[in-house]
Amino acid sequence: MNREKVYKHADRLTGFFLLLIPFVISFSSAAVTVVSIFMIVAFLVKRIAGRDFSFKSMPVKWPFLLLMALSFVSIFKTVSPRASLQGMWKLAYFGSLFTVVCEEITGRKYAKRIVISAMLGLLLSSLNGIWQLQFGWDLFRQRAYAIQADMGLPRINSAFPHTNIFAAYLVSVIPLAAAMLIYSWNNGIVRRLTYALLMIVSLFCLAFTFARGAAVGLIAALVLIGLARRNKSVFIFLMCIFIIGVICMPAGIRDWSSKADSVWDILLNPERIGDYRNALNMIRHNPLLGVGVNTYILHIDKYKIRDGSVYIGNAGYAHNIYLHMWGEIGIFGLIAFLWLAFSLFKYAWSRYRYLKDDFLKMAALGITGGILAFLINGFTETVLYYPKVAVLFWFEVGVLLGILNLKEAQGE
């Protein structure tokens, strides 16, 4: 087979696997890992066959390389070189993932197919969640829903390992659905009803995860969309959701919230605050370099606080991506990640204002909202360390950069 044929086959496979990722994320961790690795391999074969080693300019390149460098430095303090090397492999994998995705988005048509794939995944996971709520088990793993002990209410997780991971997935994708609803509002009643229905079923599922941090993240994302579009309808929608939520609030939630001493007891719980205390204790002893990338769970027992208070944490993770990251790779590693996030949002805003194509503009805004919701949810969950939704985060970073780099998006 000559080089030209290899290039064509590899190009088709790269595009095929890329479009599968946002769909298979909705139901299988193993499948999304396999598909994304196949995509990266096909991309490398394609570039080698085409002798093309040029890459698009990305504002997150240097922050990500610094993040990797500081993670590598943290290995010198690790108690498990093997675990830390696995952590470095994950970082390299995520970096390759968003780079390939960014490179492969070559036009409006491609971006549209990615959005459709993501929406199909959101629909599938939401319908699976509703099925689980109705019949007690999900369609893919036959897992039963959990019961929130202090409320006596079911918490659905669809095909995800935990209800909070399902919530992290939902709030990462729902803002894109909201943006597409706004975009399609004047483009036919079928599209309008389709996206409206998708919003309803996905928000219904989010409500039954009872993930408060995810809800706050979604509200922030929708506020961002409303402000960027100067669209009053978004704020009216949020107000309606609030009123409906208050009216339809189950008795179990009313009883639980009435017994809370403060808003912090509603947003968090004593165990989670205890996990924060444990993480801060780890950080206090290892502020600069951390304990070693990918080794938080191996160290945390040493730093758990047992002082007789109600704030006792027993989890093997910090329930906070920023504390978790600081504990593993130190303050400078955390700063590198925050630099990456800041650079991404700054670049998105600077390019968004000049986007000419309304579909691409709304897609970029919806994805930006999803990334924002994910990062805000990260204050209450270790979402960046859950493999499936971590793939989604870096995938969305790549899609956003790819869309913003399109010449046709700038009217060129």
SS (H, E, C) 104-137: HCCCHHHHHHHHHHHHHHHHHHHHHHHHHHHHCE
- Report the C-alpha dihedral over residues 225, 164, 342, 290, rounded to 10 degrees: 170
Q: What is the mean pLDDT of the chain?
A: 89
pLDDT digits (tens, 9 = 90+) for 159-177: 898 899 999 999 999 999 9
pLDDT digits (tens, 9 = 90+) for 326-349: 999 999 999 999 999 999 999 999
Contact between 339 and 66 (Cβ < 8 Å) = yes
Both tokens assigned to 257 = 């919230």
Output helix, strand, coil percentages for the chain, rounded to the nearest 5.
75, 0, 25
- Indicate the pLDDT class of residue 256, thresholds 50, 70 and 90: low
Q: Could you count the other beta carbons within 10 Å of the beta carbon of residue 5?
A: 10
CA–CA distance, 100 with 94 (Å, rounded to integer): 10
CA–CA distance, 167 with 320 (Å, rounded to integer): 15
Whole-number pLDDT of residue 55:
84
Whole-number pLDDT of residue 244:
76
| Listed residue (348, 404, 394, 386) closest to 56, CA to CA | 404
Task: Give mean pLDDT, residues 6-34.
Answer: 93
- Indicate the pLDDT class of residue 283, thresholds 50, 70 and 90: very high
Beta strand segments in 288-381, E:
none
Contact between 221 and 372 (Cβ < 8 Å) = yes
Residue of higher predicted confidence among 246 and 56 = 56
Residue that is written with structure tokens 């991506």 in the block: 321
- Indicate the pLDDT class of residue 57, thresholds 50, 70 and 90: confident
CA dihedral for 188, 190, 193, 199, sign (positive or negative)? negative
- Indicate the pLDDT class of residue 308, thresholds 50, 70 and 90: confident
Both tokens assigned to 252 = 């179990």
- Indicate the pLDDT class of residue 266, thresholds 50, 70 and 90: low
Task: Give mean pLDDT, residues 57-63.
Answer: 92
The phi, psi pair for 64, rounded to 5°, reads -70, -40
